[in-house]
Structure 1
Amino acid sequence: TDAACDSLYKALAAKGLEALYDDRDERAGAKFATMDLIGLPWRITVGPRGLANGVVELTSRKTGASEEMSAEAAVAKVVGIYAGQ
């Protein structure tokens, strides 16, 4: 998962977006709580099960809605959201 996270981080940075890569050795729930406290509007969750299926999970903090998609699609969607602002 580290390689996939690193790749996502670099892809977002290459598109001019600032990302926070939480690589702490914590449970997912603790990481999610921290991201909510920070107030990040979008979260891309990368896990071993999702990677085995070729997907990541993109979650909106505002609505709580989540959807699974390829890492490339998640990057494109987030880039598209910010391009439309």
Structure 2
Amino acid sequence: MKKIRHEAELVKAAILAGMKYGEERGAVIFEPTDSASEKILFIYRLLVHDKQIQPLPEDQVSQQSMRHKLAIWYSKQLPADHPLLK
């Protein structure tokens, strides 16, 4: 897995964008008590289901790999001159 600059910030933004995507789609209502790991898992599975991202082989699915996939997904939605991509 190639390290991404500003990955932690990208993951935080990806969680917010993924929550918005899931709620607008009508697939989920996130509760304030949901942990970040639960949100990451649900957003990852939803994006795979909607064919927004390529799925990982099941034996490689982990919190770290899902966070990485979400960071990549979100970074591709940003404009090329965005500060998180520099």
Do the two structures share a fold, i.e. TM-score over 0.5? Answer: no
Q: Which has the higher contact order (CA 8 A, sep 6+)?
A: 2
TM-score by length of structure 2 reads: 0.33
More strand by share: 1
